[in-house]
Amino acid sequence: MTEQQVGAAVLDAADLTAISRAAALVRSSGTVTRMLRTLAPALDDDERKSLGAWCVPAHAAVLVFPRSAADVVDALAGLGLKAGAPTPSTVVRDRLRARYGIAPEALEVSIVRAAAPGGEGELGEIEVFCLPVPQADPAADPESVPQPQPQPGSAGGTAADGTAACLRHLVRQERVEHNEAHVAFRVTSADEVVFAGLRHLLVERAGMRPDGGGYNPHEDVTVLYFRSGAAGGSPYGRLELLMPGHRTAALAAHRLLARSEPARALLELMTGAWQTQAIAVGAELGVFDALSPDAAGPSTVAALAGRVAADTDGLGRLLRYLATLGLLVGPYGPDGDTYALTGLGELLREDAPHSMRPLALIYGGPFYESFGRLLYAVRTGRDAFLHHFGAHHFPYFAQNPPWDTVFDLSMQASSPMFGPVPAVVDRPGVDVVVDVAGGNGELMAQILGAAPRLRGVLLEREHVVAAARARLERTGTADRCTFLTGDFTRSVPGGGDVYVLSRVLHDWDDERCLEILRRCAEAMPAEAELLVVERLLPTDGAESLAVAWNLHMLCNVGGRERTLDHYRGLLAEAGFDLVDTRPLPLDGSLLRARRTTTASLSTPHRSEHA
C-alpha cells in the first residue's frame, strides 16, 4: 500500500492533502531561505540570506477535520512521520471559538506533533491541529461542504442543529481561508536591534502585513504574526516570528506597523465612542444573552428583533457593527442574515462567569456622560464626574439605584485579576485576613474558598456590606467572615495576619492614600503583612491597561494610577517596606509590604474581630 493509500484509508481527501502539503514543505523546503521564496517573493536572494542568517525554522502547522485525532496519527505514520500522542490545544480552540461563536465544548481541538526527518536547517516538526467534525463529513471541494441551515429562532430547529450548522460553516471557511496554517521561524539572537531589522525587512521589503502579536509566558517567547500578500497560491501565507523573552517595545512597534492607512486608523480611533455605545446597547437589549447556546443560539435578525424588542433594520445595523468588533460572527446562512455569538461576546452574557455586562452598562452610562467632560478634567485637574453629576461617583451610585447594583456587579468583572492572590495568603502563620474596603466580597470569597482554615474580616460602607455578605453566603464562606461597617480613613480592624487593599488606593490622591496606609499600619501587628492589588503605570513606554485607566481615574474618580516607585514612596512614608512585587492577570500587580522596624515598636494587640 502506498503512502497516499494509507493516508486515504483514515482521512478524507481534503485533510490528507493538507497534511501531505505540510510534509512536503518540511521535506523539500525546510530552510528559511527556501520557504521565503514562497512567503516573500519580493525579497531578493541577499535579503533572504540575511533573514536566514538570523532565523531557524521552528515548525509548520495545519488544521484538519478528521473523525478522531487517532486517525491523524495513523495518517502521519502512512506518510513516514512518527507522531506523538494528541494533546489539547486550547489556543487554537479559543481562536476558533472567537472567530465562529461556537461553544467550547463543541470544539475538542487537539494537536498532534510529528518529528520531521533529520537534516541541518530543516523544520523541527509538523503541528497538526485536529478538530473532529463527524456530522459535517466535508468533501475536499469547499463548495461541496453543506451550507449552514436555518438557525433556532428563525425557522425552527434545536441548539444542536445550530451548533452543527456553525461547525459546517467553520469547516467551509477554514478550508478556503487556511487561517491556522502557518510556518514559524525562531530568531537565534536576543538582540532587539536584530529583531527590529527582521521585522522591518518582512514588512517594508517583503510586503508582508503585520497581523498582531503577543507574549507567551509559559514558553517565555514573544510572537509576531505576519501575513503574506503574495503566497503564490500556497495556503501557508502566515508567518510567525519567535524570539525569546518579553519584548514589549517590539510588540508596540509591530502593532503600530499594522496601521498601514493613517487616515483609516485615525478614523477608527476617533469613532471609539461608537464602539462603547454599541456594546452598551447590545448589552442593554440582551443581544448576547439571546444568542447564547443556553438560549436560542444563532439567529436571524428578524427573529432576534422580536425577542429583544428592537426594530429589525436598526438591530441589523447594530449586529453588523458588533460583528466587526469580534463580538458576533456573521452575517451568514442561506439568506445572509444569521448571527452567532463569539467567545468574546460570551463575556457580555448576564450569566457569564465574571460577566462584563455591568461594565458595559456603566461605561456606556454614567461614565460615558462624565467622560464627555474630559476637557474640564484635563484643564482643571478635577474629576469631571463630580462636576457633571454634582457628587462623587461613590455617593452618586449609592443614592441612584439601580446604578449602585450595576457598579457593585461591575467590580466582579475584573475578579480574574485575583486568581494568584489566595495562594499568597494561604501560608503557615496566617489565620485571619482583613480586607479593607472589600467591596462586594469577591476577593474575600476567593481567599476563604481556597483555604477553609482561614477566617476573614471585611470592612466596607454600610450599603455595600450587605452585597458582600450575600456574595460569601452564596459560596458558603460567610460563617467564617466578620462584616464591619466603617471609614477606613479613620480606623481599621486590628489583629489580622494579612491585610488587603485591593484596587483601593488608585481611587484617592496621595494625601488620602497616606491616611489609609497609616490606619493600616496602626492596626497591624508587627509580623502582619499588607497586600496591595493595583495596576502599575509602566515607565518604559510598554503597553498597559493602567495608562487608559489613569485617564479614567482623573475624569471619573479623582484618583490616579501610579508607578511602582510612587507606591514604594507612599508605603515608606506610611511606615512600610515594600518586600515583593508579583504580576497578576489583566495587567495587575500584587505588592507585598511589611511594617518597618520603627513602625513595629508600638505593636497593636489582636482585636476581638480576630
CATH 3.40.50.150 range(s) for the chain read: 414-600
CATH 1.10.10.10 range(s) for the chain read: 266-352
**What is the pLDDT, as a whole number, of residue 257?**
64
**What is the pLDDT, as a whole number, of residue 610?**
43
**What is the pLDDT, as a whole number, of residue 231?**
44
Closest to 245 (Cα-Cα) out of 268, 224, 271, 275: 224
CB atoms within 10 A of CB 206: 22
**What is the pLDDT, as a whole number, of residue 151?**
38
* Whether the predicted pLDDT of 317 surpasses 90: yes
| DSSP conformational letter for 83 | B
Q: Which of 340-349, 504-513, 516-525 has the lowest mean pLDDT?
A: 340-349
Domain boundaries 3-257, corresponding CATH code: 3.10.180.10
The answer regarding whether domain 266-352 maps to CATH 3.40.640.10 reads no
Alpha helices in 101-220 (DSSP H): 159-177, 192-200
- Examine residue 331 and say whether the peptide bond preceding it is cis (omega within 30 degrees of 0): yes
**Nearby residues of 182 by Cβ (< 8 Å), 6 or more positions away:** 60, 61, 236, 238, 239, 240
Mean confidence (pLDDT) of the chain: 82
* pLDDT confidence tier of residue 138, bands split at 50, 70 and 90: very low
Q: How far is residue 149's CA from residue 161's CA, in Å, rounded to a whole number? A: 8
CB atoms within 10 A of CB 29: 22
- Residue 110 cell numbers, joined: 487537539
DSSP three-state, residue 529: strand
Which member of 169, 178, 393, 506 is catalytic?
506
Q: What is the mean pLDDT of residues 177-201?
A: 85
CA distances from 5 to 14, 134, 138, 344 (A): 14, 21, 19, 42
Q: How far is residue 561's CA from residue 554's CA, in Å, rounded to a whole number? A: 9
Please name the residue that has the C-alpha cell 481527501: 13
Asked if residues 207 and 42 have their Cβ atoms less than 8 Å apart, the reply is yes
* Whether the predicted pLDDT of 223 surpasses 90: no
141-145, 249-253, 291-295 — which one is most confidently predicted on average? 291-295
Query: Greatest CA span in the chain, whole angstroms?
Result: 85
Q: What is the mean pLDDT of residues 506-519?
A: 93
Q: What is the mean pLDDT of residues 279-292?
A: 94
CA distances from 160 to 87, 163, 298, 299, 416 (A): 26, 5, 11, 13, 31
The 10s digit of each residue's pLDDT in 427-439 is 999 999 999 998 8
**What is the pLDDT, as a whole number, of residue 127?**
87
* pLDDT confidence tier of residue 41, bands split at 50, 70 and 90: confident
- Residue 31 cell numbers, joined: 530552510
* Whether the predicted pLDDT of 8 surpasses 60: no
Closest to 346 (Cα-Cα) out of 417, 413, 281, 289: 289
- Residue 319 cell numbers, joined: 449586529
Pairing of strands 455-460, 432-436: parallel
* Whether the predicted pLDDT of 586 surpasses 50: yes
CATH 3.10.180.10 range(s) for the chain read: 3-257
Query: At the top level of CATH, which class does the domain 414-600 belong to?
Result: alpha beta
The 10s digit of each residue's pLDDT in 51-101 is 888 888 888 889 999 988 888 998 888 888 888 888 887 767 877 877 777
Q: Between 378 and 32, whose confidence is greater?
A: 378
Q: How far is residue 85's CA from residue 240's CA, in Å, rounded to a whole number? A: 24
Asked if residues 75 and 7 have their Cβ atoms less than 8 Å apart, the reply is yes
* Whether the predicted pLDDT of 528 surpasses 70: yes
Q: How far is residue 335's CA from residue 283's CA, in Å, rounded to a whole number? A: 26
DSSP three-state, residue 166: helix
Asked if residues 56 and 188 have their Cβ atoms less than 8 Å apart, the reply is yes
* Whether the predicted pLDDT of 148 surpasses 60: no
Q: How far is residue 418's CA from residue 434's CA, in Å, rounded to a whole number? A: 15
Q: How far is residue 321's CA from residue 441's CA, in Å, rounded to a whole number? A: 36
Burial of 144 (0-12, 13-18, 19+ CB in 10 A): exposed
**What is the pLDDT, as a whole number, of residue 142?**
38
The 10s digit of each residue's pLDDT in 540-552 is 767 788 999 999 9
CA geometry: angle 361, 366, 371, nearest 5 deg: 110
End-to-end CA distance of the chain: 76
Q: How far is residue 504's CA from residue 514's CA, in Å, rounded to a whole number? A: 12
Q: Indicate if 552 belongs to the active site.
A: no
Please name the residue that has the C-alpha cell 478528521: 66
The 10s digit of each residue's pLDDT in 88-136 is 877 678 778 777 777 777 888 888 988 766 555 455 678 899 998 864 4
The 10s digit of each residue's pLDDT in 164-180 is 777 888 888 888 888 88
* Whether the predicted pLDDT of 30 surpasses 60: no
Confidence (pTM):
0.63
**What is the pLDDT, as a whole number, of residue 315?**
96
* pLDDT confidence tier of residue 562, bands split at 50, 70 and 90: very high
Q: How far is residue 260's CA from residue 394's CA, in Å, rounded to a whole number? A: 43
DSSP three-state, residue 329: strand
**What is the pLDDT, as a whole number, of residue 515?**
93
Asked if residues 260 and 211 have their Cβ atoms less than 8 Å apart, the reply is no
* pLDDT confidence tier of residue 3, bands split at 50, 70 and 90: very low
| Length of the chain, in residues | 610
The 10s digit of each residue's pLDDT in 224-247 is 888 876 544 456 778 888 888 887
Query: What backbone torsions phi and psi does residue 578 show, to the nearest 5 degrees?
Result: -80, 120
Please name the residue that has the C-alpha cell 484635563: 378
Please name the residue that has the C-alpha cell 446604578: 403
195-204, 231-240, 470-479 — which one is most confidently predicted on average? 470-479
**Nearby residues of 342 by Cβ (< 8 Å), 6 or more positions away:** 97, 98, 99, 100, 101, 326, 327, 328, 329
CB atoms within 10 A of CB 232: 11
Residue 486 half-sphere exposure toward CB, CA atoms < 13 A: 16
**Nearby residues of 143 by Cβ (< 8 Å), 6 or more positions away:** none
Using only C-alpha atoms, the chain has a radius of gyration, in whole angstroms, of: 28
Burial 333-349 (b: 16+ CB within 10 A, else e): beeebbbbbbbbbbbbb
DSSP three-state, residue 295: coil
Closest to 64 (Cα-Cα) out of 23, 3, 117: 23
DSSP three-state, residue 107: coil
Q: How far is residue 563's CA from residue 566's CA, in Å, rounded to a whole number? A: 5
* pLDDT confidence tier of residue 532, bands split at 50, 70 and 90: very high
Closest to 138 (Cα-Cα) out of 327, 315, 11: 11
